[in-house]
Each structure stands twice: as C-alpha cells, then as structure tokens.
Amino acid sequence: MRVPKAVWGLVKETARHLLRRPVVGLVAVARDPLGRIVLIRRGDTGEWCLPGGTLEWGETLRTLLPRELMEEAGVELLEAGELLGVYSGFERDPRFHAVTMVVAAKVSAPVRAPMNPLEILEVKAFEVAALPRQLSHGMSEVLERALMGKTFWE
C-alpha cells in the first residue's frame, strides 16, 4: 500500500511531537536578483514568512537550503551566504520546539510554483521598505535583526 506524500508528512510531524525532541531547521533571508526579500505566505497561518524548513534524516544544512527554497518559493539558490542567527526559543513555533538557523542567500527569480499549494499560498519578493510588518512564527524580529546586520543566537 502506498502512502500519499501529504499523509506521510503529517505522520512525521506527529512523530516529532511524540518524541519531544527539538527539530533542526533553516530559513533564508533570500534576495532575488533585484535585491528584494523573497517571502512565502503560509497556508496554516495565512501570514508571510521566510522560506525554509526542517532537516530530513541523512540531509545536511547545505542540501536543505536549495531543496526548501525550490519547494517553498520556487527559486534556485545562486549563492549561500553567511550565518545570520540561531534561534532556539520554544515559543516561536506552536507545532514543535525548533532550533532554527538563519542564513543569507542569493536566489533566482521564481522558476516554478511552490510544490505544495496547501502549505504555501503565495510567494512574493518585497522591497525592504514594503516588507509586511508581522511575519509568522516569530520571524519579524529574525528578519529585522538580519537586515540590521546583527548576528544573533539564543
């Protein structure tokens, strides 16, 4: 019997809760060729957020970054930049305790739509002055610190 990918994702998410261990993830402050910040609008909250995701078994952070950028935002990674922060506060994500690394990235213009239209409703590149005030999952202060050039870890 073949399990649909969406169902498998829910099973993995549930297992994370049951195992009660922090989940390692990565988000990108991704800039397109015009220097705009690429954000995704999440299906679960309806809010904008930095693109990224959690580390899969056997994967490295270097392979996670281009995979998630393509899956969520439909952009290709052109250049991975510096580490901008590490966030481990458990209150940021209501689903699980995430340890999230934030990196700078240069990306292409979108080459395709997000892979899961239920998870990602929209992708948009914003001029810094036009960024949404409130981002999902505590990413507002993450992006603010990154744009100010302040490396942060907790």
Ordered by start, the domain boundaries in the chain are 21-153
Q: Which fold has domain 21-153?
A: Nucleoside Triphosphate Pyrophosphohydrolase (3.90.79)
Helix, strand, coil % in the chain, rounded to nearest 5: 30, 35, 35
Residue 1, C-beta contacts closer than 8 angstroms, at least 6 positions apart: none
Determine the distance from the C-alpha atom of residue 10 to the mean position of all C-alpha atoms in its chain, rounded to a whole number.
18
Q: What is the pLDDT along the chain (154 residues), one digit of tens a residue?
A: 676 777 777 777 777 666 678 889 999 999 999 999 999 999 989 999 999 999 998 999 999 999 999 999 999 999 999 999 999 887 777 777 888 999 999 999 999 999 988 899 999 999 999 999 999 988 999 999 999 998 999 9
Backbone φ and ψ of 125, nearest 5°? -100, 125
pTM: 0.85
Count H helices, E strands: the chain? 3, 8
